[in-house]
Structure 1
Amino acid sequence: MRAFVAIPMPEAVLPGLLALQEPLRAGRPVPEENLHLTLAFLGDTDIPALETLHEELETLAVRPFDLRLAGLDIFGGDQPSVLFIRAQGEGLKELQKSVMRAIRRAGIELPRARFAPHVTLARFNRPGPEDLVRIGRYLQAHGDAALFPFRVTGFGLYRSDLHRDRAPRASGRLSLKPAARPHSLPA
């Protein structure tokens, strides 16, 4: 089963994200129910490993923190594949590192990858010249977009269906537990 660990977007943030998608006249907007910030993509993982991971994730003691979504950009360079908004927040990298340690304790091996926190807004499938112009104009007009910060109080372990029009299904939503001791800020 394909799975990932993510922070879901709260109801109060969704209108702002949807408003950013509206003027984009290229690609496929990510459906409202699929908007999230991926902490770790697990790929195809068997059920026993996911059950072990769920238990490991429940032991995490991470403080809730404020998250800010600001600055639009694309992945893919000259052939963009994804439009996203960047995510920042003291505590975000700490949470992601804690999730990665839990994944390793659960016996799930993932390739090392740089964490680039973001929320995907749209996907592109080989955009043509007209689409590239639209994307460029969109980024010029909206690239500095910023949403009001919100409090992150939980994350979840999700199953990802391969169907393009279906939302990821939650296999468990976890709340952040109070930290046993103060955590130092990430360097």
Structure 2
Amino acid sequence: MRLFLALVPPPELREQLGELADAAHANCGGRRIPDESLHLTLAFLGEVSDVQATELVDWVRRLTVPPGEWRLDGWGHFRRPGILWVGGQSPDPALTALHGHLWDALEGFDLTGRPTCFVPHVSLLRRARRLEAHGLPAPDLVWGYNRVDLVRSITRDWGSRYVSLARSPQN
């Protein structure tokens, strides 16, 4: 099964991100990410065995995540595959440390794929026709976090559906 670790926004923030996604979609076209799929990927694990998935569920349920705040105050994009996202204009040391801590532990599960560069972001559009943020509202959101979800990605013809398999305890 295809898994990743993510921060999942609380309902109020998810609604605000959805409003930004609506504005971006109206301005840039493409495929809007549904509100229920909005998240920050901390570690993409790819395909894992059922045995590894069970071990990861147990690990995440015991995982301690230090509380932090992430300021989302800028737009960005990945030219391929036309992803428009919102994130921070400045690097966030706490998120970078969390990302590194998670990958240190994941390597103990014989998982590979630690990226050489971590760009915290929330994807709002895929296959956008325009990747310019000109004319879009300036984001200014604060995401308080203290939990991580282990999420399964189920791919369908119309897109992906995400199912949380485990959540770390709230601090």
* TM-score bucket of the superposed structures, by smaller chain: 0.7 to 0.9
Tell me, in whole angstroms, the C-alpha distance in 2 between the residues paired with 1:52 and 1:107: 12
* AA matched with 2:152: R
C-alpha spacing 1:86/1:67, structure 2 compared with 1 (3 Å)? same
Q: Does 1:172 align with 2:166?
A: yes
Q: Deviations over 1:85-123 (max 9, x none)?
A: 114644211111111012111121225431110000010
Instruction: Give the gaps of 5 or more residues in structure 2.
Output: none
Q: Deviations over 1:1-22 (max 9, x none)?
A: 1110000011111221111122
Tell me, in whole angstroms, the C-alpha distance in 1 between the residues paired with 2:143 and 2:119: 19
Range 60-69 or range 4-13, more displaced? 60-69
Specify which of 36, 40, 45 is matched with residue 39 of structure 2: 36
- Residue 20 of structure 2: SS of its match in structure 1? helix
Instruction: Give the gaps of 5 or more residues in structure 1.
Output: 178-187
Deviation, structure 1 residue 58: 4.2
Range 83-92 or range 63-72, more displaced? 83-92
Tell me, in whole angstroms, the C-alpha distance in 2 between the residues paired with 1:166 and 1:9: 18
C-alpha spacing 1:106/1:80, structure 2 compared with 1 (3 Å)? closer
Tell me, in whole angstroms, the C-alpha distance in 1 between the residues paired with 2:167 and 2:42: 14
Counting aligned pairs with the same residue, the percent is 27
Q: What is the CA RMSD across the aligned residues, in angstroms?
A: 2.1
- Contact residue 49 and residue 108 of structure 1 kept, 8 A: no
Deviation, structure 1 residue 54: 2.9
TM-score by length of 1: 0.78
* AA matched with 1:37: L
Tell me, in whole angstroms, the C-alpha distance in 2 between the residues paired with 1:39 and 1:162: 19
Q: Please say which structure displays the higher CA radius of gyration.
A: 1
- Contact residue 72 and residue 86 of structure 1 kept, 8 A: yes
Specify which of 88, 107, 110 is matched with residue 107 of structure 1: 110
- Contact residue 65 and residue 148 of structure 2 kept, 8 A: no
* AA matched with 1:171: L
* AA matched with 2:33: V
Tell me, in whole angstroms, the C-alpha distance in 1 between the residues paired with 2:40 and 2:138: 17
Tell me, in whole angstroms, the C-alpha distance in 2 between the residues paired with 1:64 and 1:111: 23
Deviation, structure 1 residue 47: 1.3
* AA matched with 2:134: Q
Range 90-99 or range 54-63, more displaced? 54-63
Q: Does 1:67 align with 2:70?
A: yes
Cross-structure match for 1:157? 150
- Contact residue 49 and residue 106 of structure 1 kept, 8 A: yes
- Contact residue 161 and residue 167 of structure 1 kept, 8 A: yes
- Residue 161 of structure 2: SS of its match in structure 1? coil
Cross-structure match for 1:94? 97
